[in-house]
Structures are given as structure tokens and as C-alpha cells.
């Protein structure tokens, strides 16, 4: 949550790069960061850095319900600390890209934005479930999830900024004071994560049955 939005802010200050090049840089920053965090923390905590993914794992029965509130609390705290760190770093430049705040593109309505965020989060969560079922090794799991995130951002970035993570959106929104459409970035990802978790649980029960 520090590196991703920080990259958004930094790229907004760069000159001589195209919109697509900026999008690729941002998508790579998010994807690579997720890969690194999974490799570093996956065996310790499951590398839960996203409330929507935690909800997916809880609904799927892969994370205990008693851990839900602690995970969400520290994810939100991490998002806030990261956002205000970005603000401290970039305050001398004004507020570039509103500190990486997620925004809907012109022409994308709130309902459509919510559906897109839900769909992207569903795909991301399912990639994690697929990785745990088929890959079995942390480097491979990390690569699959990070690559999935990279391509989701390429697709949804121009439309919703591809948050897929409520805590990632909340931190920059509060730090910058730009709270427009913030509920889109909570309802959409949480709904997508919940649907993914329930779908995985149904699939697992069907296999057992």
C-alpha cells in the first residue's frame, strides 16, 4: 500500500511517458509488490494485505472467523500509515494524483464501477485459490497471483484505477481528502471476495460429495 500508491504519485510527476507506459509501470509495481509480500509473509500470516481477500478466505473456510477482525484492523491501519507516508514524501510536490487515490474514469458510473471492482476482485481471489490448489510452492503461487493482479490492473486501471482492495483505497482517500465514490471501492471488492469465497467453498463441498 506504500509502494503501489507511491508509484502512482511518482508516475504522475514524470514527464515524457505515455498513459499506457504509466499504466504498465503502476501495474508492475503492484504485481511485483504482492509477489514479494507473499514470498516474505505467506508462510507466516498467509500474506493477507487485503480485506476483500481475507473475506474470501473466511467465507471459504480457509481462515478462522476469530482472525477476521484482527486482519481487517491491521490492513486498514497499514493502508492509513502508508498513505500518510506517501503524503509526507510527496507533500513538497503538492498532492500528485491525490496521493494515488482511486477514482472512476469519466463515463464510468458508480454501479458499473462497483461491478467492475467486484469482478476484478473475484478473479484475483480465485487466482489465489487456484494457486493453493494447483501450484503448491510459494514462488509459483506468488508469481500466479502477482501476474493476475498485473493484468487486472491493465484492464481495469483505465476504468476504475483497479483498487480491488478497500484498505488500499481508504488510506489515500483519507490522506488526500478525496472521498468521492469511496464506497464503490469497499462494496465492490468485498462483494467480489465474498462471492469468490462462497464459490470456492461450494466447489470444495461438491468434490467431497
Q: Give the residue, 33 or 46, on which the prediction is more confident.
A: 33
**Domain span including residue 57:** 3-208
- pLDDT, average across residues 159-184: 95
Give the span between the Cα atoms of 204 and 60, in whole angstroms: 9
Residue 135: give its domain's CATH number: 1.20.1080.10
State pLDDT tens for residues 77-129: 999 999 999 999 988 887 777 888 999 999 999 999 999 999 999 999 999 99
133-140 long-range contacts (CB < 8 A, ≥24 apart) are: 138/38, 138/39, 138/42, 138/43, 139/39
What are φ and ψ of residue 84, in 5° steps? Answer: -75, -25
Res 209: pLDDT:
56
Name the domain count of the chain.
1
Q: Over range 204-208, report the average pLDDT.
A: 71
Give 22-38 pLDDT, tens digit per residue.
999 999 999 999 999 99
Q: What is the DSSP string of 142-165?
A: HHHHHHHHHHHHHHHHHHH-----
Report the C-alpha gap between 169 and 165 in whole angstroms: 7
Amino acid at each position: 500500500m506504500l509502494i503501489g500508491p507511491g508509484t502512482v504519485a511518482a508516475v504522475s510527476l514524470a514527464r515524457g511517458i505515455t498513459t499506457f507506459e504509466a499504466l504498465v509501470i503502476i501495474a508492475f509495481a503492484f504485481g511485483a509488490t504482492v509477489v514479494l509480500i507473499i514470498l516474505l509473509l505467506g508462510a507466516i500470516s498467509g500474506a493477507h494485505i487485503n480485506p476483500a481477500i481475507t473475506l474470501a478466505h473466511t467465507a471459504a473456510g480457509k481462515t478462522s472467523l476469530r482472525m477476521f477482525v484482527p486482519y481487517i484492523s491491521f490492513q486498514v491501519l497499514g493502508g492509513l500509515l502508508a498513505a500518510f507516508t506517501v503524503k509526507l514524501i510527496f507533500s513538497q510536490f503538492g498532492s500528485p494524483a491525490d496521493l494515488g487515490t482511486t477514482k472512476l474514469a469519466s463515463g464510468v458510473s458508480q454501479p458499473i464501477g462497483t461491478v467492475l471492482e467486484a469482478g476484478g476482485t473475484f478473479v484475483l481471489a480465485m487466482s489465489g485459490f487456484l494457486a493453493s490448489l494447483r501450484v503448491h510452492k510459494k514462488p509459483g503461487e506468488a508469481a500466479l497471483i502477482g501476474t493476475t493482479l498485473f493484468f487486472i490492473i491493465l484492464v481495469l486501471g483505465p476504468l476504475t484505477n483497479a483498487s480491488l482492495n478497500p484498505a488500499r483505497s481508504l488510506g489515500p482517500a483519507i490522506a488526500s481528502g478525496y472521498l468521492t465514490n469511496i464506497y464503490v471501492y469497499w462494496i465492490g471488492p468485498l462483494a467480489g471476495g465474498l462471492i469468490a469465497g462462497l464459490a470456492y467453498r461450494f466447489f470444495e463441498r461438491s468434490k467431497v460429495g
